[in-house]
Amino acid sequence: MYYSLSDFSDRLRIACTAENAQFFIVYHINPDGDCIGSAYALALILRELGAKVCVCGRDSVPEQFRSMTAAVSMDSLDESAQYIAVDCSDRSRTGQVLGTKQYAFWIDHHGAENEQAAIEYVHPERSACSELVLDLAEMLGVPITKQLADLLYTALVTDTSCFRTSSTNEASFLSAARLIQAGANPYEIGRKQTMIKSKERIALESRIFSGLHELCGGRLITGMITQKDLAEIGIADQNAPAMQNINNLLEIIGSAELTVMVREYPPENPEGHSRFAVKAISPLYSAKAIAKHFGGGGHIPAAGGFLKKSPEETRALLEDYCCKLLG
Ligand SMILES: [Mn+2]
């Protein structure tokens, strides 16, 4: 059930001050800056309130965030620990990393159709989950240290691609201002997380552009990244730093109304070996509805999912469907 900020904070405070309070904080599969920054910041906040904490996720923390997360120590927890999910639209995004136990708390800015936990703080209109964690810290009276501000600002800047996504709004900037006031350095974090490109990233981008499909008079742009591309360039896997925000790359084509990026995963990937990411640049279309048609999910402007098909087949299916939509 959705709770207001003050009711959610009250419940969290009560849970944290109980005897032997312990929390597993779970971030989503294929982690990004938002889920990582939000989860580790929440760990610091709950610890400040007296709880033991341990952050976990199915996939390890991407390299570009490790200098921040390594500074947050983890406690060892026992069976009585409660679960909190951050930045997960629904249970499938947790990767069932802790089995099937019920989650006590849920903090997210996507919004699932069904209830995911008894106590939820969910605001789909917010541009990053870290904004919700910041609200909570302030409501709980936890001081925003530079360490917290760096984690939360990194989350905000990566989820909004430096305040350029369609989800960016007044609240994003108000959150950013509070975090900068608390010591986050916008130039350092912005440059590190969104400007610098590795040699591997530059090679990957040029490969994607050389294999670009421009359809429906340029209104639909699709790109594809195969396992062979990754191997030849020397990118370890789909979670490597060179892959961050790669789904946004196709937006630089001015005529694009819809973009689709298809990424091949190893055949043993449980969700399927082709991941697709749809972006609706024109407000006339819903990426969420397109992804849903293929069993995926997400936001109206950006959504995706997995198919148990080859990347070529996945690309063709998405192209066919999107072309029909564009008419
Ligand atoms: Mn997010």
- 19 Cα to the center of ligand 1, angstroms: 32
pLDDT in tens, 63-75: 889 999 999 999 9
Give pLDDT, residue 266. Answer: 94
- Say if residue 30's pLDDT is above 90: no
- 190 Cα to the center of ligand 1, angstroms: 17
In this structure, what DSSP letter does residue 275 have?
Answer: E
Average pLDDT over residues 184-203: 94
Give pLDDT, residue 98. Answer: 76
- Say if residue 139's pLDDT is above 90: yes
Which residues of the chain does CATH 3.10.310.30 include?
Answer: 199-326
Average pLDDT over residues 242-264: 94
Which residues of the chain does CATH 3.90.1640.10 include?
Answer: 5-194
- 234 Cα to the center of ligand 1, angstroms: 28
Compare 320 and 195 and report the one with higher pLDDT: 320
Query: Hey, which residues does 258 pair with through a beta bridge?
Result: 220, 280
Distance CA 94, CA 114 (A): 15
Give pLDDT, residue 55. Answer: 98
- 124 Cα to the center of ligand 1, angstroms: 10
- pLDDT category of residue 245 using cuts at 50, 70 and 90: confident
Contacts (Cβ under 8 Å, ≥6 apart) of 55? 24, 25, 26, 27, 39, 40, 43, 69, 72, 74
Average pLDDT over residues 31-59: 97
- 159 Cα to the center of ligand 1, angstroms: 6
- Residues 5-194, CATH architecture: Alpha-Beta Complex (3.90)
pTM of the model: 0.79
Average pLDDT over the chain, rounded to an integer: 95
Q: Which strands make up the sheet holding 119-122, listed edge to edge?
A: 52-56, 22-26, 82-86, 105-108, 119-122
CATH code assigned to 199-326: 3.10.310.30
pLDDT in tens, 309-319: 999 999 999 99
- Judging by DSSP bridges, how do beta strands 302-307 and 274-280 pair with one another? antiparallel
Give pLDDT, residue 154. Answer: 98
Compare 226 and 100 and report the one with higher pLDDT: 226
- 216 Cα to the center of ligand 1, angstroms: 31
| 176, 163 Cβ separation under 8 angstroms | yes
Lowest mean pLDDT among 8-17, 44-53, 107-116, 219-228: 107-116
pLDDT in tens, 81-124: 999 999 999 998 999 887 778 999 999 999 888 999 999 999 99
Lowest mean pLDDT among 6-10, 81-85, 194-198: 194-198
Give pLDDT, residue 165. Answer: 87
